[in-house]
Structure 1
Amino acid sequence: MRNHGDFLFTSESVSEGHPDKVADRISDTVLDAYLEADPEARVACETLVTTNRVILAGEVRGPKAVENTLIDRARQAIKDIGYDQEGFSWKKAEITSFLHAQSADIAVGVDSAGDKDEGAGDQGIMFGFATRETEELMPAPLFYAQSILERIRDYRKQGDARGVGLLPDAKSQVTLRYVDGKPIGATSIVVSTQHAEGMRQNTIREMVRETVREVLPEGWMCPEHEFYVNPTGNFVIGGPDGDAGLTGRKIIVDTYGGAAPHGGGAFSGKDPTKVDRSAAYAARYLAKNVVAAGLADRCTIQLSYAIGVSRPLSVYVDLDGSGKDVDEVRLGSLLNEMVDLSPRGIRERLRLNRPIYTKTSAYGHFGRIPDPALDNFTWENTDLAEQLKSALNR
């Protein structure tokens, strides 16, 4: 995403009832089940959902007793999302598990033993990003696209008049106008939401319009002719009955809405020894603290790893010309010194070996407000900011 001058930029989001997000939710439910039983469990769970069928596949290493609970847990996840429809119901969907033991070859490369520290669970590149566009230090188009769907979900589950008759599957898309690199308002908004049979589209449009106005800053609403709600008409058949869903297919929704680069791997269903997940969280943590410290208005951080190697191969910082007299190379070296970016170091600092992942599976992994009771979304904390400023001033 260019961050200078005048332009339009668009991000999309999908709700927890989108087929791919149903798959993500179930995969992270499996992960949490194993971490609840054993913080050192290993999980790489992929889920396929389609008409009244759920298939689990992948590799695990953890207490055998957990296996017997997974089908019930998957069913409860579907119930919580809100699916009890003819084509996809928590009560009657057929759920099959093909999870099996983790590869011994991977375990040898990743596990610590003797003087060997724990290595990364795979090779790869991971990115973190932060920007002053919102209080959450997230790109504004994605933040508002996510917020619209979260508000619709809340109204649907609470039985509020603004959600009565709406069903779990939904998508949103927000286009913002930028002037001098800053967002000033929406030029178009698209919301498609599954609904009960017989609902009038004009009724749905008014319900959604009210919600969107609540979410956007005052004066940001797009022109009426650029406000699209269920533009193809009826949206009764949705969720896994309308389209198959797979774990990990919404990686741009999960991260920064296309405003920043994305590494090669998805997050959901992977335990935190997999740097696809944990190092992406660490990169966000570092980037957010750089911006929170006032060192820059935007920050992109790239980390890279090799399977079985504990240290990152590279730490790259890009402030996109917004840095406040900060040398990016020095900043990268300093971050690498201040934070242990080994897989174990990341897990310990961010307390990742806990069953905290179900809530990450929809509405984004970043820009979320940590719940003190659950001690989740720890990568959103800005506890490094003051230390970082002090270190740079020395």
Structure 2
Amino acid sequence: MSKTWLFTSESVSEGHPDKVCDRISDTILDAYLAEAPDARVAVETLATTNHVTIAGEVRGPDSVRKAVEEHVRAAIRDIGYDQLGFDWNTVEVINRLHAQSGDIAMGVDEGDKGEEGAGDQGIMFGYACRETEELMPAPIQFAHRILRMMAEDRKSGVRPEFGPDAKSQVTLKYQDGKPVGIDAIVVSTQHDEDVSRDEVRELVKPYLSKASLEGWTVTDDRLFVNPTGRFVLGGPEGDAGLTGRKIIVDTYGGAAPHGGGAFSGKDPTKVDRSAAYAARYLAKNVVAAELADRCQIQLAYAIGVPEPVAVYVETFGTARVDEVKLGETLRQMVRLTPRGIREQLDLQRPIYSRTAAYGHFGRPVEDDGGFGWERTDLARDLASTFGHKIAAE
């Protein structure tokens, strides 16, 4: 591997068409879980010019299905869409939710040996590293920070010139495996019609320093703001959106593999979501315990089977302990069945709409348990198991 290289990750805002769909799907999921924590939900959303279609399989209170249109409009209003071609108040909403397949339900509910099984086969990855204090890869974390702060100011009225739809992209320089500076930043943001490209550029610039990019700066010739020159028409009015099309934005920005399963709209019996959270939880605790500087964990499941069929730990030569023993220890510390994961991370609650934009990982743990998979409560015991003392303690 070259000792010096560039690596790029992108983020998209909550007003990006695909993220609008993720938000709607997770809002409906939260509505079901608020009424019935054992609800089964798999909601897909399509959005285009002043139109939203909801489809998928559910098992839960019919009162929620009847209120879907209300939840859709509330989500769109909170994002900030009241433009002519996509307006929360006038958008057409088509609801095509139907009952969950009995064959799938049987495998999940009964599973193998009487314990609840995985909702599907699949592979899930978790990752953590020492590039940021959140133990996330720096490019994706920086890209999220820029857009999140722009969105906060847009919604508070500090920057009404910005529209809801936006993208960012951050390219970092790496040397000997560590980030050492910023090579390029791209920000494209929807804006009011009477705001020029130069004005948008000046409005964007302060967010690069506000986002605390480790004190690094980008040269003026490597900052690209609205490269096409104009971004007035945005959101689903300009480009159709679908749930689950931003899975790399949702995870590690390409710094780690992805199993392919999207998260949004799926209740936590679906291992696409819950096992990906568990894998991040384990990987983060390994790095927090200072047993490795980088950790990637793969989990694999078979439909209807409770236990993962495989657990793989990779530390890229940074481990201070035996990787095989580390994997065995993690399996002993956390029960990696669907039910075990839900109980460990307390997932059977309406905590998902907030995950729909700016990443599912690297976020602060919230008072109600949101982003609970970001806890490092295993780190001390994990370190102690291997006779290691955490330096920070």
Query: What amino acid is the match of 2:147?
Result: L
- Structure 2: give runs of 5+ residues left out of the alignment: 389-393
Counterpart of 1:354 in structure 2 is 349
Q: Which runs of 4+ in 1 moved over 3 A?
A: 112-115, 216-219
Counterpart of 2:185 in structure 1 is 189
Query: What amino acid is the match of 1:89?
Result: D
1:198 and 2:203 correspond: no
CA distance in 2, matches of 1:108, 1:124: 18
1:264 shift after superposition: 2.0
Identity %: 63
1:319 and 2:315 correspond: yes
CA contact (8 A) 2:140 2:253 kept: yes
CA distance in 2, matches of 1:115, 1:202: 64
| CA deviation vs aligned residue, 1:63-111 (integer Å, no higher than 9, x gap) | 1111121110110000000000000000000011100000000011110
1:112 shift after superposition: 3.2
Q: 2:380 aligns with which of 374, 382, 386?
A: 386
**Residues 189-338 of structure 1: matches in 2 within 5 Å?**
189-217=185-213, 219-324=215-320, 326-338=321-333
Counterpart of 1:59 in structure 2 is 57
Query: What amino acid is the match of 1:211?
Result: Y
Counterpart of 2:391 in structure 1 is none
| CA deviation vs aligned residue, 1:241-299 (integer Å, no higher than 9, x gap) | 00000000000000000000001200000000000000000000000000000001100
Mean CA deviation greater in 216-225 or 283-292: 216-225
CA distance in 1, matches of 2:202, 2:132: 27
1:342 and 2:340 correspond: no
Q: 2:75 aligns with which of 74, 77, 81?
A: 77
CA distance in 1, matches of 2:98, 2:255: 37
Query: What amino acid is the match of 1:100?
Result: H
1:115 shift after superposition: 5.5
CA distance in 2, matches of 1:347, 1:103: 22
Query: What amino acid is the match of 2:178?
Result: K
| CA deviation vs aligned residue, 1:189-218 (integer Å, no higher than 9, x gap) | 000000011101111101101111221436
CA contact (8 A) 2:111 2:117 kept: no
CA contact (8 A) 2:247 2:260 kept: no
1:164 shift after superposition: 2.4
**Residues 1-20 of structure 1: matches in 2 within 5 Å?**
5-20=3-18
Query: What amino acid is the match of 2:337?
Result: S
Closer, same or farther: CA 15–385 of 1 in aligned 2, 3 Å:
same
CA distance in 2, matches of 1:254, 1:175: 18
1:393 shift after superposition: 2.4
Counterpart of 1:375 in structure 2 is 369
CA contact (8 A) 2:335 2:341 kept: yes
SS at match of 2:360: coil
SS at match of 2:298: strand
Query: What amino acid is the match of 1:22?
Result: V
CA distance in 2, matches of 1:114, 1:368: 35
CA distance in 1, matches of 2:66, 2:373: 32
CA distance in 2, matches of 1:348, 1:230: 45
Counterpart of 2:27 in structure 1 is 29
RMSD after superposition:
1.3
- Structure 1: give runs of 5+ residues left out of the alignment: none
Query: What amino acid is the match of 1:358?
Result: S
CA distance in 2, matches of 1:218, 1:314: 37
CA distance in 2, matches of 1:348, 1:143: 28
